[in-house]
Amino acid sequence: MNRKHTIAILVNDQPGVLQRVSGLFGRRGFNIESITVGASEEPGLSRMVIVTSGDDRTQEQIQKQLYKIIDVIKVIDVGSSPMVARELGLIKVNAEPAARPEILGIVETFRASVVDIGANSMIVQVVGDPDKLDAMVELLKPYGIREMSRTGVTAMIRGSR
Amino acid sequence: MSAQSATLKSKEELIEKWSKPEVITGSEMLLRSLLLEGVDCVFGYPGGAVLYIYDAMYGFSDFNHLLTRHEQGAIHAADGYARSTGKVGVCIATSGPGATNLVTGIATAYMDSVPLVVITGNVATTLIGSDAFQEADIVGITMPITKHSYLVRDVKDLPRIVHEAFHIANTGRKGPVLIDIPKDVSAAKALFEPVKEVHLRGYNPTVQPNRNQVEKMIRAIEQAERPVLLVGGGAIYSGAHEELFEFVTKTEIPITTTLLGLGVFPTGHELHMGFPGMHGTWTANTAIQNADLLINIGARFDDRVTGKLSGFAPQAKVVHVDIDPAEIGKNVPTEIPIVGDAKAVLQVANTLAKRADKADAWRAQIRQWKESKPFSYTDSDTELKPQWVISMIHETTKGDAIVTTDVGQHQMWAAQFYPFNKPRSFVTSGGLGTMGFGFPSAIGAQMGNPDRTVVSINGDGGMQMCAQELAVCAINNIPVKVAILNNQVLGMVRQWQELIYDNRYSHIDLAGSPDFVKLAEAYGVKGFRATNKEEARRAWEEALKHPGPAVVEFVVRKEENVFPMVPQGSTIDQMLMGDSE
């Protein structure tokens, strides 16, 4: 059965490491829904978070194949435990002055924020799990979304683990 | 061999000579590092980006450098050297086209888990990314086909990188490692200090197995009525042939060895069933399909072995021993996974193993299958049959040669009719199926095994993909014996077009190939041609007696097919048996 999986990968902060990981997904036909990379808690190591989908066997293969990359230090199946998953979205939406109060209402409900206002548009910044971003996008669509940029999910297991 | 005339010093002397900390160039560091890894022979081809490295090699005699005539020849030679010796094969090429000419060879080694350290030059770091003359992103190009790769940005890292590369190439699941050295790095100077330790947090292969898993396997053997051992190249690479022999002697489980596993167990042994798969024995395939326990040691359930996956070994409980955890469960669902080195696993297993007592009827059945369905062909008095030629080569080399092959029909016939009894004696491109591999790999095998007879069996197609390396044999007097089974056609493609594509022979005619005797002679290599058995035996025996390299062209029957054959998409018990059907 195809399911969504969120995995975190601790990698050496080396040139080409993103290419090694993404290339592996590409050539073995593993799906990437989103990928984020940034610094980790340890100097010299980066943390990638990849959201992928596939059956359990694919999921097992993904983890095993990732471990074959020398620059991969650790693979964590974040999604198998209770986790915090967050994504940031910037949405530039049409906002004639007349429409602004309504849009601000939506922004407030989602605990989002307005980070830029232009003559007839504004940029809304929203943070949350991907479902929340999807919902926000749906609600802003009627006003006309000019541009959207989503970071992809970054995630962590809850608690002290 | 003049190429081997370099006086090789003992490891201790080398370490003393080269270990002295000193400020030297990257090129000199590279050579010293190679020596400290025990390298005695490298295969290469110079060019602009490796000029500093070749300059450092000027007058250098601590290891041999063999100048091939094409980079592809160099890497296949390094591969043949590695497969036949167990040591890491090393080759050097320049940037751009030199490096890209290595790609097929890297992929060949990667697919068959062969330890290579591949050194390429690159344009200077200041030019990288500018589409400079002879620039290619070889690290990027080869990422999917290397175990690991390095672009050396700082000369100070070079000793560590070389040491890591050898460690990675020849431990765990072995494979090719690329080191790309920009020209300015090979020229730059720094303090050289030998690196003796490896710190790789992300690399720690599991060698020793979990004992509980091995015990599970032993219990499964006790229960099994129809057990089969399937042993692959991993057992050869881990040097497990003695442990395997002990295991089979103790358990008396019938064994089949894959194409890359041939030689790890004596082919003539009463429990050996030959190799399985597309052109394997009827017995091995039928045994796998009827087995209730299938123990895979160091094979990866390649599609040429399994045939139609969903119908493979339908009744078997599967045990899979592999040093690469990713291979376990990749193709075939596995009840008892055992991650570990084949040798280490068998050492543990041998302390526990008992005879598979419930399998007496099975052993009798297999004996009967083996007798009734051996590999066979219809011999001819008028035409030279390729199978006969292989048998004659086997007989005249007393079964003791290192045999390298190219890819195609002759490869399968070599596997079928040259029974191997020693590991590292059969050098063949199994996974990638690389034409052009057969002949240059023999050069490497001969360099690594100067005292053994090395025979290279080729078709008329593959021979023309690396024939230029005849020059290397002639100049260095490398006494490889080259057999060309000339059927004037791309035989395996012809066979498929006959059997599967309804006799539509599309672009397979190789008539008009050069006269191979003249071709050999043009390079200064002794050439022979044979069109019947008498000529064949005489020419071959003369070639064997000749102290230098020799080429024997056997003009064989064009229409001959390889049987048995499992058509693609069928289960492996659905075999076309050909004449003997």
Residue by residue, DSSP assigns B421-469 as: -STT-EE---SS--TT-HHHHHHHHHHH-TTS-EEEEEETTGGGGSGGG
Both tokens assigned to B26: 């990257």
CATH code where residue B245 lies: 3.40.50.1220
Both tokens assigned to B250: 């103790």
Rounded Cα distance between B134 and B113, Å, is 29
Local structure of residue B88 (DSSP, 8 states):
P
The answer as to whether B203 is a domain residue is no
**Same-domain pairing of B178 and B217:** no
The answer as to whether B173 is a domain residue is yes
Rounded Cα distance between B322 and B295, Å, is 11
Rounded Cα distance between B166 and B455, Å, is 28
Cis peptide upstream of residue B46 (ω within 30 degrees of 0) = no
Rounded Cα distance between A113 and A115, Å, is 6
Q: HEC profile for B276-322?
A: CCCCCCHHHHHHHHHCCEEEEECCCCCHHHHECHHHCCCCCEEEEEE
Instruction: Tell me the three state secondary structure of residue A88.
Output: strand
**Same-domain pairing of B448 and B523:** yes
- Residues of chain B in contact with residue A11, where contact means CB-CB under 8 angstroms, are 202
Q: Which domain holds residue B151?
A: 2-192
- A72 interface with B at CB cutoff 8 Å: yes
Q: What is the pLDDT of residues B367-403, one digit of tens each?
A: 999 999 999 999 999 999 999 999 999 999 999 999 9
Q: Hey, how many other C-beta atoms are within 10 angstroms of the C-beta on A152?
A: 16
Q: What is the pLDDT of residues B61-86, one digit of tens each?
A: 889 999 999 999 999 999 999 999 99
**Same-domain pairing of B346 and B419:** no
Banded model confidence at residue B9, pLDDT cuts 50, 70, 90? low
**Same-domain pairing of B448 and B395:** yes
Which residue, B166, B157, B184, is CA-closest to B53?
B184
- Residues of chain B in contact with residue A61, where contact means CB-CB under 8 angstroms, are 326, 329-330
Which residue, B446, B495, B441, B494, is CA-closest to B465?
B441
Q: Chain centroid to CA B391: how far?
A: 21
User: Is the model's pLDDT at A161 over the cut of 70?
Assistant: no
Rounded Cα distance between B301 and B282, Å, is 18
User: Is the model's pLDDT at A19 over the cut of 70?
Assistant: yes
Rounded Cα distance between B496 and B393, Å, is 27
Q: Which helix (H) or strand (E) holds B13?
A: helix B11-19
The secondary structure of A97-141 as a DSSP string is GGGHHHHHHHHHHTT-EEEEE-SSEEEEEEEE-HHHHHHHHHHHG
Q: Rounded to a whole number, what is the largest CA-CA distance in chain B? A: 71
Q: Which helix (H) or strand (E) holds B244?
A: helix B241-251
Q: Return the pLDDT at B581.
A: 44
Interface test with A, best of B203, B322, B324, B334 (most A CBs within 10 A): B203
**Same-domain pairing of B464 and B558:** yes
Instruction: Tell me the three state secondary structure of residue B126.
Output: coil
The distance of B393 to chain A (nearest Cα, Å) reads 41
Q: Is the Cβ pair A68, B202 closer than 8 Å?
A: no
Interface test with B, best of A17, A64, A76 (most B CBs within 10 A): A64
The secondary structure of B478-514 as a DSSP string is ---EEEEEE-SB-HHHHHHHHHTSTT---S-B-TT--
The count of domains in chain B is 3
Q: How do A72-77 and A3-12 pair as beta strands?
A: antiparallel
Chain mean pLDDT for chain B: 96
User: Is the model's pLDDT at A105 over the cut of 60?
Assistant: yes
Over range A3-9, report the average pLDDT: 94
Which residue is closest to B199 within chain A, CA to CA?
A: A70
Domain boundary among B312, B346, B372: B372
Over range B517-531, report the average pLDDT: 98
Q: Return the pLDDT at B114.
A: 98
Both tokens assigned to B487: 């059927």
Q: What is the pLDDT of residues A57-82, one digit of tens each?
A: 999 999 999 999 999 999 999 999 99
Q: Return the pLDDT at B269.
A: 97
**Same-domain pairing of B364 and B266:** yes
Q: Is the Cβ pair B202, A72 closer than 8 Å?
A: yes
Q: Return the pLDDT at A1.
A: 76
The answer as to whether B570 is a domain residue is no
- Residues of chain B in contact with residue A65, where contact means CB-CB under 8 angstroms, are 326
- Residues of chain B in contact with residue A16, where contact means CB-CB under 8 angstroms, are 139-140, 143, 151
The distance of B463 to chain A (nearest Cα, Å) reads 31
Q: How do A45-54 and A83-94 pair as beta strands?
A: unpaired
Q: Which residue has the higher pLDDT, B581 or B476?
A: B476
Q: Among all residues of B, which ones are annotated catalytic? A: 71, 133-134, 183, 492
The answer as to whether B381 is a domain residue is no
Domain boundary among B127, B157, B192: B192
The closest CB to that of B202, out of A15, A57, A71, belongs to A71
pTM for the full predicted model: 0.96
The answer as to whether B497 is a domain residue is yes
Over range B506-535, report the average pLDDT: 97
The distance of B110 to chain A (nearest Cα, Å) reads 13
- A57 interface with B at CB cutoff 8 Å: yes
Look up the ipTM and state it: 0.93
- Report the DSSP beta bridge partners of residue A90: A125, A149
The answer as to whether B571 is a domain residue is no
B485 close to B459: Cβ distance less than 8 angstroms? yes
**Same-domain pairing of B392 and B486:** yes
Both tokens assigned to B39: 């390298």
Interface test with A, best of B138, B142, B143 (most A CBs within 10 A): B143
Q: What is the pLDDT of residues B242-277, one digit of tens each?
A: 999 999 999 999 999 999 999 999 999 999 999 999
B169 close to B88: Cβ distance less than 8 angstroms? yes
Both tokens assigned to B503: 């006799």
**Same-domain pairing of B38 and B137:** yes
Q: Return the pLDDT at B5.
A: 43
- Report the DSSP beta bridge partners of residue B179: B119, B150
**Same-domain pairing of B167 and B223:** no
Which residue, A4, A7, A1, is CA-closest to A21?
A7
Q: Locate tokens 């971003």: which residue?
A: A133
Spell out the domains of chain A, with CATH numbers in brackets.
3-80 (3.30.70.260), 84-157 (3.30.70.1150)
Q: Which helix (H) or strand (E) holds B417?
A: helix B409-417
End-to-end distance of chain B based on CA atoms, in angstroms?
49
- Residues of chain A in contact with residue B324, where contact means CB-CB under 8 angstroms, are 68
CATH code where residue B409 lies: 3.40.50.970
Q: Which helix (H) or strand (E) holds A11?
A: strand A3-12
**Same-domain pairing of B156 and B236:** no
The closest CB to that of B326, out of A12, A27, A61, belongs to A61
Interface test with A, best of B125, B171, B201 (most A CBs within 10 A): B201
Q: Chain centroid to CA B577: how far?
A: 28
Chain mean pLDDT for chain A: 96
Which residue, B532, B556, B261, B571, is CA-closest to B413?
B556
User: Is the model's pLDDT at B7 over the cut of 70?
Assistant: no
Instruction: Tell me the three state secondary structure of residue B357.
Output: helix
User: Is the model's pLDDT at B3 over the cut of 50?
Assistant: no
Rounded Cα distance between B70 and A48, Å, is 41
**Same-domain pairing of B303 and B367:** yes
Between chain A and chain B, the number of residue pairs with CB atoms below 8 A apart is 39
The answer as to whether B380 is a domain residue is no
Poorest-confidence range of B13-22, B114-123, B316-325?
B13-22
B488 close to B510: Cβ distance less than 8 angstroms? yes
Q: Is the Cβ pair A16, B151 closer than 8 Å?
A: yes
Rounded Cα distance between A78 and B462, Å, is 50
The angle at the Cα of B200, spanning B195 to B201, to the nearest 5 degrees, equals 150
Banded model confidence at residue B2, pLDDT cuts 50, 70, 90? very low
Which residue, B353, B525, B351, B478, is CA-closest to B80?
B478
The angle at the Cα of B89, spanning B401 to B166, to the nearest 5 degrees, equals 140
The answer as to whether B325 is a domain residue is yes
The distance of A84 to chain B (nearest Cα, Å) reads 26
**Same-domain pairing of B216 and B134:** no
Q: Return the pLDDT at B578.
A: 87
Q: Is the Cβ pair B202, A57 closer than 8 Å?
A: no
Q: Is the Cβ pair B326, A72 closer than 8 Å?
A: no
Both tokens assigned to B558: 């064009």
Q: Return the pLDDT at B580.
A: 52
Q: Is the Cβ pair B326, A68 closer than 8 Å?
A: yes
Q: What is the pLDDT of residues B484-504, one digit of tens each?
A: 999 999 999 999 999 999 999
User: Is the model's pLDDT at B16 over the cut of 50?
Assistant: yes
Q: What is the pLDDT of residues B386-445, one digit of tens each?
A: 999 999 999 999 999 999 999 999 999 999 999 999 999 999 999 999 999 999 999 999
Amino acid code (one letter) for B440: P
| Counts for chain A of helices (H) and strands (E), in that order | 4, 9
Q: What is the pLDDT of residues B200-214, one digit of tens each?
A: 999 999 999 999 999
- Report the DSSP beta bridge partners of residue B176: B116
Q: What is the pLDDT of residues A141-159, one digit of tens each?
A: 999 999 999 999 999 999 9
Domain boundary among B192, B222, B257: B192
Which residue is closest to B148 within chain A, CA to CA?
A: A70
Q: Is the Cβ pair A20, B143 closer than 8 Å?
A: yes
The closest CB to that of B139, out of A16, A64, A70, belongs to A16
